[in-house]
Amino acid sequence: MEPFGARLARAMDERGPLCVGIDPHASLLRAWGLSDDADGVASFCATVVGALADRVAVFKPQSAFFERFGARGAAILESTIRQLREAGALVLLDVKRGDIGSTAAAYADAYLNPSRPMYVDAITASPFLGLGSLAPMFDTAAEHGGGVFVLALTSNPEGPSVQHARGIDGRSVAQTIIDEISQLNKGVEPIGSLGLVVGATIGETGHDMSALNGPILVPGLGAQGGTADDLRRIFPGNLAAVLPSSSREVLGAGPDATSLRAAASRTLDACRDALGRPGRS
């Protein structure tokens, strides 16, 4: 299969630089007038797919909100992934997996092997057992044209105590992750398939991502406090590779399909303006 980086670059050119998170948490289900159970999640996902699947470049289902309903939740997630991909969207599954050896390989096989029922285009992963522990995920992604987005600089208040800690070479943990992913992406065109996760509300941390040559998933737009202007301020040298992610800012407009489309369009327009990516004529 064509590498994920190439498919992502084309999707962002064709549909615009926006990832919509699919996070059916209890408060959002209630706001939509749905029950906090598997039936509510199924209705929620059906509405999102029907309203947005053919117009958004990337969707990011959060696995935990499906897992809490057991086998039924997993089945809804599988069906939602399949429908999104059939509509031409890329699916980035937010699972934040991170383990070692055969377990890491099994996670990779579960999500990045096209023969598996939960197959997606890319996943999120945690590198804090050491970036080398993610090698099975990187290898499986390379074999099947998939992508991996590695946590680097997150917006949660607990993050800096680990991510900003410095090693014996003076680099922060986050900068080490950035540098190693940059090496793995070196020379790949149009961009590499290994990306970073960097929160929209981290502020100016002094980390250098200029050599990344890969995508940057930027969650936190909208309800979490991040703005489209933050993208230009935090990523001045990487704007073409930034993939902003919004969940509540878009999904809060539901359940009306027209309102969902309007919210996605507004968010996308703001991201295009901030990133200097005009719409296709």
CA distance 274 to 198: 17
Task: Check if 60 is active-site.
Answer: no
Tokens encoding 45: 């996902």
CA nearest neighbour of 131 among 65, 207, 183: 183
DSSP string, the chain: ---HHHHHHHHHHHH-S-EEEE---HHHHHHTT--SSHHHHHHHHHHHHHHHTTT-SEEEEBTHHHHTTHHHHHHHHHHHHHHHHHTT-EEEEEEEE---HHHHHHHHHHHH-TTSTT--SEEEE--TT-GGGGHHHHHHHHHHT-EEEEEEE--STTTHHHHT-B-TTS-BHHHHHHHHHHHHHTT-SS--SEEEEE-TT--------TT--S-EEE--BSTTSB-HHHHHHH-TT-GGGEEEEESHHHHTT-SSHHHHHHHHHHHHHHHHHHHT-PPP-
Q: Is the dihedral of CA 250, 252, 257, 262 positive or negative?
A: negative
Which one of 55, 82, 96, 277 is the catalytic residue?
Answer: 96
Those residues whose C-beta lies under 8 Å from the C-beta of residue 40, and which sit 6 or more positions away, are 24, 29, 32, 34
CA distance 125 to 114: 18
Catalytic residues: 96
